[in-house]
A and B are shown apart, each in its own frame.
Chain A
């Protein structure tokens, strides 16, 4: 027991003497969570809370164009910049010069075309019902075309979303015109408002439901991404401290000296793993505490602790073991401390980038999404996502444990064989 205690104490003393390593493991994640969460949160707000700037050029001779602009404005989704004096041919250059991303052009015949179409529909209905139709001769105007301009930098799906919104308001206007026309033809006076209201209020609603196994309605926010993401990043950054410790012990002969002593190398490795797993757990406690208590004070979303605490502990533990095992392997293969620090740090940044720590994987191209499967950081993050967003379902965590289990095994075997080759074990 005294031997185990001494071995753990030695690892602890080495750790607390490594000021740079401690700063990387504890200060770095706190700073990263703080800075990146603020940046990403304002980006989220820009998309979710700010209005979309929309340049509108309304050349419609009638009233329907104005109605459409009024509906778009009333929706609260758009910040409308009306520039009716701008001719259509110069709208492209106007869009770019005004720094707007989207513009809507309403043609002169917009109202006339819609009214003409409403009349046609009404006449068909009257004919089918055997009722008198509007027989006054009027000029037939074809259905109008709205022009939607967008900056090429705008993502296609974003443009389609905006066009979908405009289309939805167009349906309201067209239906309204048709009802008015039919009521007029049938001499029903102004009683169409009730029908219009009924038609609008009875449209099929779409309820948005977050897919979660415990009926949780938690939606991922910048805190829920950044706190676990940068904690995992910092956990793996222990490669700088633990990796270089192992290189030092290999190179200076401490490991070989231990081989001449009546002790087992397993004790050395166990002590290292135990101390650094505790370090990783402390990292989680410190960074998550920041997410729970400090970030809300700064107006950022509060971190909600997962409801499945056993699964939470298991994910923290397996993520810690993955980080420790990777650091052991780097320490076993690096020839110098510089190699361990340089390669270790760069490999973690690359693993972080492809694993969705820096940028979420769903915005990556498909081949990069496939590549993310080979990053241990991706699977650790995936584990935390399952905890936060899917109620910590054991079923969903199966893949996380399987991949990280294989990763740990590979790292441990790699370490064992290298130390065996060097006759340390």
Chain B
């Protein structure tokens, strides 16, 4: 069930110091509460830059980003405690076990000891990691590492979850497990903002999408509406229609 806007992006520009061109140009989007919002685009389109701005990793060069109309969030710390971020990289400690990783990152999200233990064990169970909870993550398969990466981003039950290519390089079983769990937390009210190159997965998973190319939003709306508007039979053909067939580096 989608509701009121939880994120409003208004006229955001981003230009890196070393770059010739803008990475983002006049990006304006509204993302509703409890939506599953796909940020799609070819390589170098600006998806990761936009997610980095939304997560507070980098500031925009200009423009405004509001969370919940700035009504409920009173501080930067509070905003951070209400968002979750799952980067494309395995951004955790390979030398530690999943349990140790979750303990550390959970504490960084200000979780108390008992809450943390409860959520940690729940996630390990749900994501099929209980059996391996005390083995070093460095010995895991790609799929298992993706699940650990996801678990860290949702240990604190965020209101808004940012996922940057959460299923890249994983087997079908792990992908299904990840998508199934994401749907479940979305049904419980978590807003998901997601990037992927898997068009079929995005088509199945997302309620709304924004297509970005060369730093600009070239299409934005409900998936079915966009397909109808551009006379595309699938998200993949819509993507090719709008971004072309040229290689992107």
Contact = CB atoms under 8 A, between A and B. Distances in A.
B57 A260 contact: yes
Contact of A13 (B89, B92, B100): B100
A261 B87 contact: no
B110 A18 contact: no
Interface string A106-129: 000000000000000000000000
A257 B85 contact: yes
A340 to B, nearest CB: 16
Contacts of A423: 57-58
Contact of A252 (B56, B57, B78, B90): B90
Contacts of A257: 85, 87, 91-92, 105, 152
B113 A2 contact: yes
A7 interface: yes
B87 A14 contact: no
Interface size class of B (residues with CB under 8 A): 20 to 34
Contacts, number: 80
Contacts of B219: none
A74 B110 CA distance: 81
B109 A261 contact: yes
B65 interface: no
Contacts of A10: 93, 96, 100, 104
A9 interface: yes
A21 B110 CA distance: 31
B104 A260 contact: no
A12 B105 CA distance: 15
- The interface centre, meaning the residue of B78, B89, B90, B104 with most chain A CB atoms within 10 A of its CB, is B104
A14 B95 contact: yes
B123 interface: no
A10 B87 CA distance: 20
A261 B108 contact: yes
A138 interface: no
Contact of A2 (B56, B100, B107): B107
B188 to A, nearest CB: 21
A253 interface: yes
A194 interface: no
A17 B93 CA distance: 11
Given A260-B83, A262-B77, A17 B96 contact: yes
Given A13-B96, A261-B80, A252 B91 contact: yes
A282 interface: no
A135 interface: no
Contacts of B80: 260-262
A423 B18 CA distance: 14
Nearest to A16: B95
A67 interface: no
Interface string A240-283: 00000000000011101111111100000000000000000000
B117 to A, nearest CB: 12
A3 interface: yes
B77 to A, nearest CB: 4
A259 B108 contact: no
B3 interface: no
A13 B94 CA distance: 11
Nearest to B82: A262
A254 B81 CA distance: 17
Interface in B80-128: 80-81, 83, 85, 87, 89-96, 100, 103-110, 112-113
A17 B96 CA distance: 8
A263 B108 contact: yes
A253 B92 CA distance: 8
A261 B93 CA distance: 16
Contacts of A253: 87, 89-91
Contacts of A215: none
Given A9-B104, A10-B100, A256-B91, A262 B78 contact: yes
A5 B111 CA distance: 13
Nearest to B85: A260
A88 to B, nearest CB: 74
Contacts of B106: 6
B104 to A, nearest CB: 4
Given A6-B103, A252-B89, 13 more contacts: A6-B106, A6-B108, A7-B104, A10-B100, A10-B104, A14-B96, A18-B95, A253-B90, A256-B87, A257-B87, A260-B85, A261-B108, A263-B110
6 contacts: A2-B112, A13-B95, A17-B95, A17-B96, A252-B94, A260-B57
8 closest A-B pairs by beta carbon, nearest first, are: A6-B107, A253-B91, A253-B89, A17-B95, A262-B80, A260-B85, A257-B91, A10-B104
